[in-house]
Amino acid sequence: MDQIIALSDGDSTADLQKYLSTLTKDQLTTVINNGARKSKKVGAMIKGIFKGSAPDSPEGSNRRLLVYQHCIPLCESGDLQTEVAAEIIGLLMLETRTLPGTSLAKLASLFVEAIKVGKMGSGKSLELFPTVLTALSACEALSYGKGELGGGEYKKQLINSLCSSRWNPQCVIHLTTMFRDVPLSSEELQFLVEKVLRMFTKLDLQEIPPLVYQLLLLSAKGCKKQVLDGIICYFKEQDVCQEEEQKRGASLDLEVQSIPLDQLRHVEGTAILHIVFAIRLDHELGREFLKSFKTSYGDLCPFSVALLLSVARIQRYEEQVFDLLKGAIIKSFKDGQLQQGSKFLQDLLPGHCSVAQMILDTVKNSVFGWDHVTQGLVHLGFFLMDAFGPKPGPFGKTTEGSVSIARTPNQQACKLGGQVLLQGFKVHEPIRGEILDQVLNRLVTKTASPVNNYLDLFSDLVVSAPMILLESSSKVTETFDHLSYLPLTTVQGLLKAIQPLLKVSMSLKDALILVLRKAMFSSQLDGRKSAVTGFLLLLKNFKVLGSLASSQCSQAVSSSQVQVDVHARYNCAANEAFCLEILSSLRRCLGQQADVRLMLYEGFYDVLRRNSQLGSSVMQTLLSQLRRYYEPEPDLLPPVKLEPCITALGDQVYLQEPLAHLLSCTVHCLLWLQNLRQSANTYADNVEEEEEEEEEGEGYQCELQAILESMTRRMIKCELEDFELDKSAEFSTANSVGVKNNIYGVLVMGVYEVLMEHNFIKANYSRSRFEELLELFNRYHKLAEILREKSGKARVLSNKIPRSLLSLGFISTLLTVLFRDSTQSREEALSVLRSSGEFVRYAVSVAVQKIQQLEETGHTDGPDGQNADRTFRFLCDTTSVLLWRYTNIPGGVEDAGKKEKRSSLSLVCLEGLLRIFTTCQQRYPDRMAQLLASMEISEDDDEPDEGNVTEMNFFYIRQFQRALFTQLSGGEEEFNSKEAQLLVSILCVLSRQLQPSSRQFVQMITWTVKMCKETSFEDSAFSKGLLSLLFNLHVLYKSPVSLLLELCQDVHSQVGDIDQNVEVEKQSHFAIINTKTATAGAVSVDTTSGSFCLAVTSTPQNLFALIGFHHFDPSPQLLVLSQVDKVLDEVDWLIARKKSQTSSDKSGSDEAARAAGQQDPIEKSVTLQLGTLLTALNELVQTALLPGTCTITLLRELSRTYTTLTTLVKYYIQVCASQHAALPARFEKLVKLSGSHLTPQCYSFITYAQNGEFGGGGADDKKKKKRNEVNTAPSAKLLRETKAIPNLIFSIEQYEKYLITLSKKSKVNLMQYMKLSTSRDFRINSASLDAALQEQDPGQETTVSQEAEETQEPRQKKRKQ
C-alpha cells in the first residue's frame, strides 16, 4: 500500500502503472482490504490506483472496475468505519463518469443483484448508484442480450427489473432515499412509487415514518396524489385491522401479529407531522391532497380526517379544509337519510360510510399525543354548531322547546359538533379553557338566535367535569354580569346547567345572588323575569334541614358527580337563612307585572316539592296576596275582586294580577303540604315534633280552607251579571271595554276550574260535593260559550277551549274515574259527573289540549308540567283511558255529536290518541314500547306479548285496522270521514315503529294495498290519507315506480284523455281512485298552496298535518307527483355517485363487467327506474288534468325528468370518453322510450294546457261545460306567472343536444328516435285568438293579449340560443 502511495505522489505515472500491472487481482483486493480496515491512507491509495489505471486502456478500465466491484460490497459489509466508507464512496463517485459503458452496465447489474439478494442492508454504497445510473443514461449504445440498447433505455430496463424484484425490507428506506437523486421519467417514477407503497405492509411499524418522509421528498418529482393516497390507504387498512381485532377479542389466529394500539397511533401522529411539514413547503402537494377529497367523501377515514385538521393549521388551507369537512359531513348525513328512507337504495348499496363516526374516532385517537390535531377539532366543533345550529323563527322569534332527537341532517351535524367539543373537553386538558370561553361567549353574544345547542353543551361540560369548571369560575362569574340582558330561555338554561356548581362554590353562589338582586330592579321585563327564575332555582336546590331527600322529590338535575357532602347539618341551617332571605326578595315581585307574578306562581309549587320546610313561608306569602282579591264578607257576591286585577295605561287595559294562577298555586301548594303531613304523621316517631308542625300549619290551613269553601259556595250562586259578563256585554278586542271583559272572563273561568279541581280532590266521592262541582262546571261552560260566540269569527271556527288551569294529575285521575272506575261505593257519586255529557267532553278536551301543548313545547302548564317522567306517566294513563273509551263505546251511539257542528266524543278521543302517539315519537322516541305496554285492552282480546316490542306494536295496529275496517264495511251513509282519516294517521304513526324487515311490516303493507284496491268510497280526504300511508310504507318495502305506473293508469282512466276523441281503456288497479277522488282538490289556482301541499306530502312526518287539517287537500295526482320527485332524487343521487367513481378512476371493476358483457348494477337500476317512470308520466301527460296546481306540478316534474335524463346522458359521455365502452342496450331502449313516447305527448300536453281545453274524453256535456267554466282567467294567469312551460321546452332541447354529443362519441345514432315538434314554434294562432276574444268579455281582452305575448316569449329565448 505504501508503495502505491509513494509512486502516486511521485512524478512518474509510468512507474505506478508498471507496479500496478505486476499485482494480481487478489493482491490488489487484499491491499484495499488491509488499508480500509486499518484506516491508513486508504483514500490516497485508491487515488493512486485510479491514477495508475488509464480509463482508455482495457487493463486500466478493468482495474478500475475491479476496484468498484470490490469496494461496494466492502462498504456494505459493516467492517469499515463510517468515515472510511464515506471517503471511499466519495472517491468512487468522482471517477464514475470515466468508466466505459460496459463497466457501468456491469456495475449497475452488480447493484441490482445485491439489492435483489438483500446485501444492501446498510445502504452506504447506494449513494453511488444514482451516479452510475446517470452516467449510464448518457451512454450511446450498450449491448443487451443479442442486440444493443441506448443508455436511457438500458437504465429504464434496470429500474424495471429492480422494481419488479423482491426487496429486503431493511433497504427500502435507503432505496427510496437513493432514487431521489436518480433522474426518472413519469412512468418510472409511478412504477417506483407503487413498489415502495407495496412494501409498507412488510416493514416494521417504526420504520414507516422515515419512509413516509422520504416518499414525500421523492414526490417533489411527481406522483403526489399517488404518494398521499398510498400513505392514507395504508393507515386506513391498519385502522380496519385494529377494529377487527378488537371485535374478535381474544379469539385471534396465531399467525396474526397484533400491533399495539398506542404504538400505531404514535406512528400515525408522526406521519401526519411529516405530511403537514411537506405541504407547508410544497403547496402543489397541498392542492393535490385537498383535490382528492373534493369529489367524494367515501375516501375519508379517521387518519385522513386528522390529517385534514392538521393541515387546517396552515392559514392558506384553513377555509378550504373546513368547507370540505362541512360539505362531507352534511352530505354524509343526507345520504344516510336518503338510504334509510328507501329500500331500493338499501338493497343496491348496503353499506353507508359515516363521516360523523370517523370524526369521533379521530377525537378518540387524538389522545395519543396528537396536539397538532386538537386545535382543528375545537375549530371544527364550533364551526358545525355555528353553521347548523337552530335558526331564529319568523320576526326573530325562537321556537319553544328543544328537539329531543336530531332528525334532520342539519340537526345531526350540530349535534356532532357538540359531541366533538364534549369529548375533546374530556380528554384534552389544554383546550378546556378555550372551549369554555367560546361556549360562554356565544351564550352571551347570540341573543338574536336560539342557543339551545350551546346550553346543552355547557350542561354536559358541567356534568362531565364540575371541578375543572370551578377552576374557571371567574369566567362563569363574568357571564353572570350579562344575565339581565339575555333572553329568558338562555338564562333558564344557563342557571339550570350551573346548579351543581352552586352547591360547592360559595363565591359563585354569592356572585349570582348579587347579580339577581340587581336584575330584580332592572328596567327590562326580561331582566326581572330572569331574577325570578334564578331565585326560584336557588330555592329548589338548597335544602333546608328536614326537607325531603332529593330522591323523593324527583329532582330533575342530579349533582351526584360532585363528591362533596353539601347536606350536612350546618349547611342546612345556613341554607334556611339563605332561602328565607331569597323569599323576602321574591315577595317584591308581587307588586310587578303579571308576567313576573305568573312565573312566581308557577315556580312556588316546584319549590315546595323540593324544599318542603319552606311551606309555611310560601303559604303565608300566597295567603296574604290572595286576601287582596278575596271578598271576606260571606254574603257578598262575587267572592273575588276583579277590579284590582287589571290596570290601565292610556287607552289600553292590561292584566295586573293573574288571579286564577294565584289561586291555582295556593290550592296545589296547600294540597301538597297536607298530603306530606299525612304521610309524615304515619311514620312520625317524635310526637312533640308532630304537634309543633301541626300547630305551625294549622293557622293558614284553616283560613285557606275556609276561603276556598266560601268561594265555592258563592261562585255557584254567582250569575254572569255579577261579573258584568252577561250576553249583552261587549267582548270585542277592538276597544278597551271588550278587552277588559275578555280578561275578566278568562280570570273567572280560571277560578271556576281551580275550584272544580279542589272540590273534586276534597269531595272523597261524595255525591253532594260532586253536584256542587257540576254546578261550578255549568257556570264555567256558560261563560265559555259566551266568550266563544262573542270573541269573533276565528273563535267560532276553531272551536277550541281556552288554556286550561287543570293539572296533569287531576286530568289523568278524572278521566280514569269517569271511564274506568267500577268501584261500587263510588258509583252513585260518579254517576252525577257521568250524566253530564258536556262535562265528560270537557275533561277529554282538556286532556287533548295538554297533549297538544306537550307535543309543541315539550312541557305543559301547571304542577309537574316541566317534569319529563310525570308528563310521560300522564301520557300513558291518558292513552289507556282514551283507547278504552274509543274501543268500547262506538261513535254511532253518540247521536248528540252528529246533530251539532262538532266532533263526537269518540273523535276527540281518537284525536287525543293520535296526538299522544305523535308526541311520544317526537319527545320520547325510546319509550314508545313503554307507552304501548301501559295500554290496557278489553278482556275479549288476546293479550300481546309485552316482551316483543314489534309484536306489541302490531297488536295495537290490528286494533285500529279493525276499527277502520268496521268504518268501511258500514256503507257510505254510515261512513265517518274524519274518524277514518284519524285512524289512517294513527296507523301511519304506529307503522313507523315497525322494522321494515319484519313479518309484521309485510302484513301491514299487504293490508294497506288491499284496502286501497278494494275501498271505493268517494271521499277525497280519506283516499289521499290512505294513499299517503301506502306510499310511506311502500318506499321502505321496495321501489314505488311500479305502484306509480298503476296509479297513473287509474287516474288516466278515471279523468279522461286530453284528446276528447280518444276513448281511454277502463282500468282499475286501485278502487280508491275513482272519478270523484281523482279530480278532487285540483282546481286551486294559488301557486303557494300547491307548493305547500307538495312540501307536506314529501315528508312522512307531516302526515298528521296533511290529512283533514288543512283547507287544501292534494289530489292523488299531486301525491303521485311528489313520489315521482322522490324517485328522481334517488336516481340523481345514484348518477352523481357513479360520476364521482368514474372521475376518481376507481371503476376497474366496471370495465371488467362491461368487458364480460354485463351492465353495472347501479346503471341497470337507474335505467329500469327511469324506464318505468317515463311510462307512468306518459300516462299522466295524456290525462285531461284540471287547470291549476296539478298541471303546473306535472310540467315541473316533466322538466326535472328530462334534466335527470340529461345528467345520465352526460355520465355516458364521460364513460365513453374514458373507457371507450359500448352503450348498454337498456339505455338505448330508454332513449327510444323518451323520444318516441314521452316527448311528443309532452308537446301535446303543452298545447292542451295553453289552449285551456279542459274537457276529458270520458266526460259528458254537462261536466265539460262545468270544466270550461272553471276559472279560465285565473288559470291563464297562473300559466302566465309560471315558467314551467319554457323550462320544460328548454330541458327537452338540452336533453336532445347532449344526445347528439353522445351519438358522436359512441358511434350510435340515438337521434333516430327523436321527432321534432311544431309546438316549439310559439307563434300566435290568429284564428284561435279571434275566437277567444269573441267568447270573452271586453274587460278580459287585455288578459288574453297579455297571455298571447307571454306565449310568444319563449320563442325569443329559443332564438337567443
- List, as one string, the DSSP characters of 288-327: HHHHHHHS-GGG--HHHHHHHHHHTTSHHHHHHHHHHHHH
Taking each helix axis from N to C end, the angle separating 101-116 and 128-137, rounded to the nearest 10 degrees, works out to 140
- Residue 143: its pLDDT value, please? 61
* Per-residue pLDDT, 774: 93
H or E element, residue 648: strand 646-649
Phi/psi region, residue 395 (left: phi>0; alpha: psi -120 to 50; beta: rest), is left
- Report pLDDT for 789: 82
The span from the CA of 1268 to the CA of 1252, in Å, is 8
pLDDT value at position 750? 94
Q: Which contacts (CB < 8 Å, 24+ apart) does range 130-133 have?
A: 130/178, 130/179, 130/181, 130/182, 131/93, 131/96, 131/97, 132/96, 132/104, 132/107, 132/108, 133/108, 133/158, 133/159, 133/182, 133/183
Give dist(CA 1046, CA 262) in Å, integer: 60
**Number of residues written out for the chain:** 1361
pLDDT of residue 1360: 36
Contact 579, 614 (CB under 8 A): yes
pLDDT per 10-residue tile (average), the chain, 1361 residues: 61 66 69 64 68 68 71 69 71 71 72 70 66 70 61 72 77 80 81 87 87 89 87 89 75 58 89 92 88 76 91 91 91 90 87 85 88 91 90 61 70 92 89 90 87 91 85 86 88 89 85 90 87 88 59 37 38 73 86 89 89 86 91 88 88 90 93 84 54 60 90 91 82 84 92 94 90 93 86 48 87 92 88 91 93 89 85 91 85 50 81 92 86 67 61 89 87 82 93 89 92 86 90 90 91 86 79 77 36 32 34 68 93 90 58 56 92 93 86 92 95 85 88 90 87 47 45 54 82 92 88 67 63 63 41 35 34
Please give the full DSSP string across 401-440, using - where no structure is assigned: S--SS--SHHHHHHHHHHHHHHHHHHH-GGGHHHHHHHHH
Q: Please report the pLDDT score of residue 55 as a whole number.
A: 67
Which pLDDT score is estimated for 1199?
Answer: 94
Q: Output the nine-digit C-alpha cell for 718.
A: 254567582
- 840 is written with which cell numbers? 265528560
**Of 556, 565, 660, 549, nearest in space to 612 by CA:** 549
pLDDT at 191: 84
Please check whether residue 907 is in contact with residue 979, taking contact to mean a CB–CB distance below 8 angstroms: yes
Instruction: Specify the pLDDT at position 520.
Output: 87
Is 1141 within 8 Å of 1117 (Cβ atoms)?
no
- Distance from C-alpha of 310 to C-alpha of 298, rounded to nearest angstrom: 20
Structural contact between residues 657 and 645, judged by C-beta atoms closer than 8 angstroms: yes
Reading the block at residue 1031, the C-alpha cell is 306510499
**Residue-wise over 72-83: b if at least 16 C-beta within 10 A, else e?**
bebbbbeebeee
CA–CA distance, 810 with 498 (Å, rounded to integer): 33
Neighbours of 1277 (CB within 10 A): 16
Q: Which three cell numbers stand for residue 328?
A: 362531507
Strands 147-149, 652-655: parallel, antiparallel or unpaired by DSSP? unpaired
Q: Find the angle CA(121)-CA(122)-CA(125) to the nearest 5 degrees.
A: 105
The predicted pLDDT at position 1091 comes to 32
- Please tell me the predicted confidence (pLDDT) of residue 1099: 36
- pTM of the predicted model, to two decimals? 0.82
C-beta separation of 757 from 655 below 8 A: no
The pLDDT value recorded for residue 421 is 94
